[in-house]
Structure 1
């Protein structure tokens, strides 16, 4: 704890001080054969921690400098209401159903490839897709509306 206090006093951020001291002790453990012969191994840990903290400050300063040079990134619009609804409906599905729906409808994988990559039998993939479609129709209230597909067979999500 003494080294954490010293690094914190120098650099002013307790969380960063704890992180760099932990990393310094991990490095000390890796070099313990050599460090165990030192008169004050803690001094080595402290020096490594200070250097790690200084490197973090330099990195932060470079990031801030880049922000100043390039300005803030352009504002990007959030997801549309359809995407939000689809993501919410997907979260209601059991994991295996969600997995096959995402692979098949969002990424256009054929059933056989999904079965191979997940280790499921082809019949299970088909059953999960069937059950998932039924649940999604109810969740999304899409009984009357046909699904929109992109050119590669995947569902189009805006």
Structure 2
């Protein structure tokens, strides 16, 4: 029990100072806290030996600096790798205004009409396939599609197109 109490006091006395040093090195408070925690966890795991050292704080500080250096090297290596292997892709363009308008108009349709339109014109389902999938008569699907096209045409200021299939 005294060993644990000794570690608690050690931790309370030195954690803040080490964290400040690491923060000034990294410039990132969260990284400083993470590394300080890791260093103290390693000290705790070996507390029987570390507490007997002439300078246990120096040992924890050295572990923390080694951890910080390792993280910095890993980050630098990863960034160098990304720079060397960066793909030169052109920036992706956003959706066209027409696509945005159609998506918004579809969102205003009743759910069954919207599903029928998507299945028919995006999913390339036939009317009989939609009817079977939805468990309704083909005439019902045709009605949904007709109403949906009329609503979309009104909202998009277009003439409704007949179902060509």
TM-score normalised over the length of structure 2: 0.46
Comparing both chains, which one has the higher relative contact order based on Cα–Cα distances under 8 Å and sequence gaps of 6 or more?
1
As a proportion of its length, which structure holds more helix? 2
Larger Rg: 1 or 2?
2
